[in-house]
Amino acid sequence: MSDTTIRAAILGTGLSLTAFHHPLLKALPELFTVHSVLERSGKETCRSIVGDDVKIVKTYEEVIEDKDVDLVVVSTPNRTHFDYVKRALEAGKHGQSSSWSRTSISYTMLITQSCVRNLLHPQHRKQRSSTRSLRQTTRFLGYTKTGDGMEIS
């Protein structure tokens, strides 16, 4: 693990982990390190996807309390996105979700207020995932662990 990469924790082990988040983060090793994956079952079925060098955790608290995690990628049922992103921001981490800003304008405003208070930067992406969107994320973050601006689409 390099000090110059953004260390990401991915929440969830379904199709989003397999097809989108893990492959795209691994495609940019100079920018991202997949630090951990949240798998509540504890069976470590995602081990074959993420490999032996990635930490598997059972609770969200393990993710937000881990000082080595810089970015929390939320890939869980939509109803959980707002709470997970908000808690990540409050813990001093970046949060990335595919759906929280579509839930309601009041949720979006609460997340934005939390970012301003904590000088953090949420990353919202549209459903379409691509290496390009990750490159945009890293530009947004200024290729460092904290960004210079805030973008909410």
Structural domain 6-140, CATH architecture? 3-Layer(aba) Sandwich (3.40)
Map out the domains of the chain as residue ranges. Answer: 6-140
Torsion of the alpha carbons at 145, 92, 87 and 114, rounded to the nearest 10 = -100
Full-model pTM: 0.68
Q: What is the pLDDT of residues 83-99, one digit of tens each?
A: 888 888 889 888 887 66
What per-residue confidence (pLDDT) applies to 61? Answer: 96
Q: What is the pLDDT of residues 95-149, one digit of tens each?
A: 887 664 455 555 565 666 665 555 555 555 444 444 455 555 555 555 444 444 4
Q: Which amino acid is at 136?
A: Q
